[in-house]
Amino acid sequence: MVKQRLSFIDVFKGELIILVILHHAPLVCSKFGNPYMDTFWINNFIIAFFMPAWFIATGYCSNFTKPFHLFLWQNFKGIMIPCFTLYCINHFLSCINAYFYGDSLWMSLSHWFNPGIRTFLRTGGFYWFLSSLFLSKILFWGIAKIPNDIYKLSICVMMLFAGLCLYNITSDHNFFYYQHSLILTFFLFAGQQLKKHENRLLSHIIPIAVSFILIVIVISYMKITVPTVTREITVTLSTSPLFILLSILGSLTTWAVSKRIAQCNLLEYMGKGSLVIYAFNYVTLTIVANTLVYIIAPKSAFLSVACFVLTIILSLAVLTLFYWLIDKKWIRAIIGKF
């Protein structure tokens, strides 16, 4: 029996992947001569929750009752194999981009054929999100067997604190982003709780959304760094409660929006292809931004904004098209199921 996809969850993931693009676009545009976008204010709303939200959605959708060997293999096949294959493709795209823009470091054959199992292991899977998601799901499989939710919560909170301590205190290599996975396992538990109490939580969505917006505005006005987990972790032990609060409030707000939309072909398609779009978003943004800055040469605020908006639109179009090109029966295995 084929498991039916829930449209609003694909809409939710489509919304989140757009937020990923919006987060990376200012960084890329400022790097290639578009400084007006260097401190794009909306980024504080995005980084406050957008990566933990993926874990909440995963916790909501995942079945942790499967036998461990089956659960392990399905997640390895659906997350880590795509993590390696997409990493290899991404590397070649990066080489092509560097070649066209005269980066001599990428001109030797050794750089072009660098990807391999050894490099993949040394870099910890390359995509921090996929590596930590895989480890978090494996960790939470055991936690999910505990019948008492209070005990589950306690273990997840202790793991979150342990991950923060390891990241902020020790200098150990974050192998396959295990420190990230310890921190973010908490949000798999949050996703499971969302599944149990969804109607009750969404009945209070207006105060939840207003609280999220007001807290981010106050933090931004006070010039306080928004605690977040991306490849770099800015969360500390003292800011962890704020991190958890903003992550949950922002995720619930976006979740409610996706349920309100319910169905949208474009967002659903982007949600289905979110793993591919995530894997290639930065290199695509780099190529598009570099090209547009070269063509438009923005020297005013208006041209900079126009270049920024075009970078986002064209990158989303290219990434969606790329997903369509590789979402074929004979190569679908390399892009996994997310």
Least confident of 176-185, 226-235, 264-273, 293-302: 293-302
Q: Is the pLDDT of residue 184 over 80?
A: yes
Residue type, 285: L
Q: What is the pTM of this model?
A: 0.90
Q: Is the pLDDT of residue 122 over 90?
A: no
When the pLDDT of each residue in the chain is averaged and rounded to a whole number, the result is 86
pLDDT of residue 303: 79
Among 98, 48, 22, 80, smallest CA distance to 217 is for: 48
Q: Is the pLDDT of residue 120 over 80?
A: no
Catalogue the long-range contacts made by 172-177 (C-beta closer than 8 Å, 24 or more residues apart).
173/124, 174/124, 175/124, 176/124, 176/125, 176/131, 176/132, 176/134, 176/135, 177/124, 177/125, 177/128, 177/131, 177/132, 177/135
pLDDT of residue 157: 96
pLDDT of residue 337: 62
CB–CB of 336/302 below 8 Å? no
Residue type, 193: Q
pLDDT tens sequence across 214-265: 999 999 888 888 999 998 899 999 999 999 999 999 999 999 999 999 889 9
How does residue 302 score in pLDDT terms, banded at 50, 70 and 90? confident
pLDDT tens sequence across 19-55: 999 998 888 877 666 555 555 567 889 999 999 999 9
Residue carrying the six token digits 């598009």: 288
pLDDT of residue 268: 93
Alpha helical stretches, state H, 203-239: 205-221
pLDDT of residue 16: 96
Cβ of 74: how many Cβ atoms within 10 Å? 15
pLDDT tens sequence across 269-284: 999 999 889 988 988 9
Residue type, 96: I
CA distance 302 to 322: 30
How does residue 69 score in pLDDT terms, banded at 50, 70 and 90? very high
Helix (H, G, I), strand (E, B) or coil at 210: helix
Between residues 12 and 330, the one the model is more confident about = 12
Q: Is the pLDDT of residue 209 over 90?
A: yes
Between residues 15 and 222, the one the model is more confident about = 15
